[in-house]
Structure 1
Amino acid sequence: MPWVDENRLDDADALRTLDSRDSLRSLASAGAQVRRALVSAQEAGIERVSGGERPRSVLVAALGGSSLVCDVLDLLAEPGSPVPVLTRRDAPLPGWVGPLDLVIAVSQSGRAAGPLALAAEAARRGASLLTVGAADSPLADVSARARGVHVDVALPTPSSRTALWGMLTPVLIAADAMGLAHVPTATLERVADLLDQVAEECRPSSDAFVNPAKVIAVGLGETVPVVLGDGPLTGVAACRAASMLSRTARVPATHGALPDAASQVVATLDGPFGSGTPSGGTRQGDDIFADPFLDGPAAPRLGLLVLRDPGLDPAAAGLADAVVASAREAGAVVQECAARPGEPIERLASLVALTDFAATYLALGLGLDPSVSRHVRELRDRTG
C-alpha cells in the first residue's frame, strides 16, 4: 500500500534533493507566469488576432499538460460567447475551418505534433492564427509564415504541467479582446496575486499539518482517489487534479462532475474500496483482530476529494452534500476544498493551484521525483 512519509514532507532539504527539476519552485512561479504573459501578449500585438474583428468561430488546440487551456476557455466562453468555441486535441482540422475562423494552438515546446499539425493546416486554409509556445520553435515559425500572432512562453519550467499559467493567460487575453469571455486585465492581475498567496501557503517550509496541499497529499496517500467537482467550474478543476495525480504522483485517479457523476461515485461505495469487499465481508482495516502478516495488507480505502464552488446554487450544493454524507458513512476518506471567492477564473485558479501543489507533494511524499518518470521516458524512446 502506498505510504506518504510526513517526515520527508517537512524536510525542505529532502524535498529539494528529490525534486530534481524544481517542480515546486515552478508551481510557485504561477503568479509570475501570469504577469510575464500579460507583457508578452502585449509585445506580440495580441490585439491583431483575427484582424481585430470577431471570428466566425474559435478552435483551440492543446494536449497533455496544456490541455486545460481548452477546458478553461470552453468553460468561460460557454455562458455568453457570441460565437462557437470548440476544442481539438489532435488532427485532423475540421473541414469547415476557413478564412473566417480563428485557430488557437498551444504547446510549451512548440513541437507537440497535434497542435503543430492543426496550426499548419489552419494556416494553409487561410484561417487566423494565434499560437502560444516557445520562441524560435516550429509552432512560432508556422505562425510567422501565416502572419499570425505568436506569444512566447518566457519563464522556463520543467514541463507543460508547471507552465499552465504562462500558456493560458494569452488565450484569456485574446478571448476578452474578442468578447468571447469576460477576463479583463484587472482580473488576471488579481489571479496572479491569488496564485502568489496559494504558493506562500503551500511553500515547502510550511509544516504538513498546516500546509493545505500537504494535508491533501497525506489524506490521499493510502487511498484510491476520486476527484469530484460539484459543478461545471469545479469539474474542470477536478479533471486537472486527476491528471496531475496520475502524471505527477503516479497514482491512478478518476474524476467527475455533478450532477452527472453522482450515481457513478456513490456506486463505488459498495465496492472493495468502500464499505464492501468482493466476498461481501468486512474490510481488514475495519477488523481490530486482523493480522496484516496472516491476512495480508489492508485494502486501500476510497479517497474522495470534493472540490466546492461557493457560487453554486443551493440545489446543486445540496447534491454535493448528499454525496459527501454517503461517502463518509461508507468509510471513505473524504476531503473538501472550497474555491476562494471572486470571478470564475479566480475561483478556478485557487483550486487548480492548490491541487497542483497537492499532487506534487504526494509524489515527493511517496519518494518519487515529480518531473521524472522512467516509464514515460521509455515510452518516448519506443515511439520516437
Structure 2
Amino acid sequence: MRQRRTRYRKFWKTGKRKETNPTKIMDRSIIQAVDTMDMWGRVCSFPDQWQHALELSSEQGFTFDRDRIRNVCIMGMGGSAIAGDLLRGYAAPVSPIPVMVNRQYKLPGWVGGNTLFIASSYSGSTEETLEAFDKAKESGAQIVCMTSGGRLLEKAIECECDYIRIPAGLSPRSALAYFFVPLYKMFIGLELIKDDPSVCTSMPDFLKEQVESFSDTDENEPLYLAETILDTLPVIYSNSGYLEAVNTRWRSQLAENAKILSYGNVLPEMNHSEIVGWEQMAHLTGRLSVFMLYDADDHEGIQSRMQVTRSLIQDHVVSLNTIAARGPNRLAKMFYLVQFGDFLSLYYAYLNETDPTPVTKIEMLKSRLMK
C-alpha cells in the first residue's frame, strides 16, 4: 500500500533543470552512459549474491566457545556495518543476549571475555575497525573478522581468529548479502534467531521477484517516486524496530548512489520532540519529501502514531509516501524495503545524470587525513 500526497513542485536551484522522462531512464543504453561502473548490475544481481553467500557460508566453521558468549559487539563503519544494523534489529525481539553495533574507535567498557566481537571491514583497512580489533583482543573477547583482505585479514590470521573471507571487487554497500547471510547463519547457530532454515534459503527467489518488479517499465514504484522527490530533501520515518536499520540503509544509499543528503528518524521517539519542529517550516515548504516505512505487523500504537503524524506534517511537504513492507516473513519484508531503497537511489542518480558508483568525497577525505 502506498499513500501519496503531492502539493506542488518547486525548483530552487539556480537555472532550469533539464526535463526528465522516467520511462526513458529504463533504456539500457542511457543507464550505461551514466552508470559507468555498473552499479545497476550489482543491485540487480543481489539475489545471485545471496545464493552465493549461502553456498560460501555452508562451508564456514567457527572455533569460538559459544558457552562463554554473553553479549555481541559488531564493529564496522559505513557499508561494512549495515548488515550488523539489520541483524541487530532483526534479532532484538528474540535474542536472549544483547547485540550492539559499534561505529567508533573506542569500545564499550563491557567488551571482554564474554563478548563475541565481530570486526567487519570490506577493505580490511578501515582504521576505526583495526583499532577496535586491537582493543577487543586486549580485552580477551572472542573475535570473528569479516573482510575481503587487507590488514584485518592479516591480523585475523596472525591471532588465529575465526574469519569470513568475502569476495573482493565490490564496494562495501554492494556486498550486503556477503556480510548479512553468514552473520544470520551464525546467529541461528547461536540461537539468537529462531527462524526455520528455509526462511533464508528461500530468499533468492523472493529477491528476484523484486528485481523484476523494480526494473520494469510499468508500475515501477521506485522509479516513479524518484522522479517525484527530485530537488527535495527526503525525510525518512520508520518504527524503531528492524525498520530503523532499513531507514539507515535508505539514507546511506541516497548519499552514496544519488549523492544527496537526506534525514531520518524513528517512531515513537520523534513524536515526543521532533514533531514540534514541523511548526515553523514555511521557509522549507516545497523543499521536503517524506517517506514513511512501515510493517502491517507493527505495534498498533506505531500504526496509530504514523497516521496522526502523517496528518500533521502533510501540508509542509512536496510529497508524502507510505511504503509498506511486503513479503511472506519478516526477513523478506526487511529486504523488500532494502531493495526498494536501493533502486530508488539509483533512479534518482540516473534522473540527475549522476554516476552512482564513485564516492569522491570519501576518497578526498581519506587523502587529506593521510597528510
Same fold (TM over 0.5): yes
Aligned to 2:20: 5
Partner residue, 1:247? 256
2:120 is aligned to 106
1:312 pairs with 2:312: no
Structure 1 spans left out of the alignment, 5+ residues: 284-299
| 8 Å CA contact 1:49, 1:174 repeated in 2 | no
Q: Which sections of structure 2, spanning at least 5 residues, go unmatched?
A: 1-10
CA shift in 2, pair 1:373/1:102, >3 Å: closer
CA contact (8 A) 1:72 1:236 kept: yes
SS of aligned partner of 1:336:
strand
Tell me the CA shift for residue 268 of structure 1.
5.0
Contact 1:28 / 1:199 at 8 angstroms: preserved in 2?
yes
The separation in 2 between residues aligned to 1:121 and 1:138, in whole angstroms, is: 15
1:137 to 141, 150, 153: 150
Alignment of 1:317-336 (within 5 A): 317-336=303-322
How far is the alpha carbon of 1:246 from its aligned partner? 2.1
Is the 1:173–1:184 contact (alpha carbons within 8 Å) kept by the matching residues of 2? no
- 1:167 pairs with 2:167: no
Please name the residue that 2:30 is paired with.
14
Aligned pair count reads: 354
Shift of 1:54: 5.4
Instruction: Spell out the pairing of 1:230-245 with structure 2 (5 A cutoff).
Output: 230-245=239-254
Find the partner of 1:36 among 49, 52, 60.
52
Pick which of 95-104 and 1-10 moved more.
1-10
Output one character per residue of 1:95-138: Cα deviation in whole Å (capped at 9) or x when no partner. 4433332111111112211222222333344422211110x432
- Counterpart code for 2:368: R
TM normalised by structure 2 equals: 0.87
Change (3 A) 1:373 1:59: closer
Which residue of 324, 337, 351 maps to 2:337? 351
Q: CA 1:176/1:49 → structure 2, altered by over 3 Å: closer, same or farther?
A: farther
* Paired residue secondary structure (1:99): coil
- Kindly tell me: are residues 125 and 269 of structure 1, through their superposed partners in 2, closer, same or farther at Cα, counting changes over 3 Å? closer
* Residues 1:117 and 2:131 are matched in the alignment: yes
Which amino acid letter does the alignment assign opposite residue 103 of structure 1?
A: F
Specify the code of the residue in structure 2 equivalent to 1:341. Answer: G
- Among the aligned pairs, what percent are the same residue? 22
Contact 2:289 2:317 in 1 (8 A): no
> Could you say what secondary structure the match of 2:269 adopts?
coil
Q: Give the residue type in structure 2 aligned to 1:240.
A: R
Task: Give the one of 217, 225, 234 matched to 1:225.
Answer: 234
**Deviations, residues 137-179 of structure 1 (Å, cap 9, x unaligned):** 322222223332211222642x111111211111111111101
Change (3 A) 1:51 1:169: same
Q: Could you tell me how far apart the structure 2 residues matched to 1:256 and 1:91 are?
A: 24
**1:50, CA displacement in angstroms?**
2.2
Question: In 2, distance between residues paired with 1:373 and 1:97?
Answer: 33
